[in-house]
């Protein structure tokens, strides 16, 4: 299923001294890449939940409306969690009541930690929910006050109800490539958790580098093990944070395992409120730049996405992104985007 992927890091046909642009233009390299990628835009939920500035509800609604015009097929809308634990998401019901009209072609998943959250999401007319476990018990306890095994016990009634209600379930594995409390995470444990989530009813599982400590080597090791477990690549997503500037390199490795789904966040906003040292998600615009350079289709209108990014950046008091600066000075490279 992923057999060709091994060439990227191990083939003797790629010299260690070969210039990167020569490597990227190699027919062999390009034969390993998917022709298209689905971007899951997570900024309204995973992005805003960790920001110290709480964006008001009307601005969130406008932000989601702007994102809905960009070509995304999936936009994480909000989460039905304890508002005392995550006050940034306390307006979940209002958000779901004001989703953009005429957007049946877009999925707006919401995060739910337990059956109570699921019921609230269902009552808010959610068509898709996300559940989450972790690669380490310590992180899971810090995040949800339960162990990994206990998290699956909480999932059982959600899976049962979702099947009866016709609601799709997406799974997340947080800290799949490193934990802020326990350090390295066993790849075999992540494979086991992935298999378990899929068996119970998740239509796909997002593999999360929650604190951004993954490197191309550790990403290769994990996705190689996932491939050897015969887990279909179209059931997996990559969720990378850019704490140490490795996110794009890690995505490049995942692409070579035919991973076609990536979670990204406009302007790189977000992080994890329960993971000390976690910085923002990989920026959507940076990922689109990477995909553009590799001629991988993504269906995102980057001009409209930049408008959405500038809007939310202004609400958070963030500086302009490197891509925004480049576009302002009419950088010749980026003319090919439009």
Beta carbons of 53 and 315 less than 8 angstroms apart? yes
Q: Among the residues of 166-279, which ranges form H helices?
A: 187-200, 216-228, 247-255
Beta carbons of 7 and 13 less than 8 angstroms apart? yes
272 carries an active-site annotation: yes
Per annotation, catalytic residue among 175, 202, 267, 272? 272
Burial letters for 61-93: b for 16+ Cβ neighbours within 10 Å, e otherwise?
bbbbbbbbebbbebbbbbbbbeeeebebbbbbe
**Cα separation, 138 vs 134, whole angstroms:** 9
Burial label, 338 (beta-carbon count in 10 A; 0-12, 13-18, 19+) = exposed
Beta carbons of 292 and 24 less than 8 angstroms apart? no
Beta carbons of 306 and 323 less than 8 angstroms apart? yes
Residues in contact with 267: Cβ distance below 8 Å, sequence separation at least 6, in sequence order: 43, 280, 283, 284, 285, 309, 312, 313, 318, 321
| Active centre residues (catalytic) | 272
């Amino acid at each position: 299923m992923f057999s060709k992927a091994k060439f990227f890091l191990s083939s003797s046909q790629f010299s260690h001294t070969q210039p990167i642009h020569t490597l990227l233009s190699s027919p062999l390299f390009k034969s390993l890449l998917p022709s298209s990628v689905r971007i899951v835009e997570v900024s309204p939920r995973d992005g805003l939940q960790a920001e110290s500035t709480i964006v008001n509800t009307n601005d969130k609604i406008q932000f989601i409306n702007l994102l809905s015009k960009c070509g995304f097929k999936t936009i994480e809308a909000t989460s039905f969690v304890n508002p005392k634990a995550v006050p940034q998401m306390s307006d979940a019901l209002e958000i779901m009541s004001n989703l953009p009209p005429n957007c049946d072609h877009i999925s707006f998943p919401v995060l739910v930690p337990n059956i109570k959250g699921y019921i609230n999401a269902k009552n808010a007319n959610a068509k898709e929910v996300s559940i989450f476990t972790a690669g380490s018990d310590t992180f899971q306890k810090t995040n949800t006050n339960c162990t990994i095994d206990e998290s699956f016990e909480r999932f059982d009634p959600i899976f049962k109800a979702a099947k009866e209600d016709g609601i799709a379930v997406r799974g997340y594995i947080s800290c799949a490539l490193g934990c802020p409390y326990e350090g390295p995470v066993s790849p075999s444990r992540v494979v086991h958790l992935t298999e378990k989530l899929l068996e119970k009813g998740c239509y796909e599982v997002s593999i999360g580098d929650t604190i951004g400590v993954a490197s191309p080597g550790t990403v290769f090791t994990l996705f190689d093990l996932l491939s050897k477990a015969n887990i279909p690549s179209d059931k997996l997503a990559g969720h990378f944070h850019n704490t140490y500037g490795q996110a794009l390199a890690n995505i490049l490795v995942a692409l070579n395992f035919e991973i076609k789904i990536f979670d990204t966040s406009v302007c790189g906003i977000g992080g994890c409120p329960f993971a000390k040292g976690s910085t923002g998600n990989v920026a959507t615009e940076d990922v689109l730049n990477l995909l553009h350079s590799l001629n991988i289709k993504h269906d995102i209108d980057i001009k409209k996405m930049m408008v959405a990014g500038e809007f939310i950046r202004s609400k958070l008091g963030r500086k302009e992104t490197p891509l925004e600066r480049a576009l302002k000075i009419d950088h010749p490279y980026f003319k090919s985007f439009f």
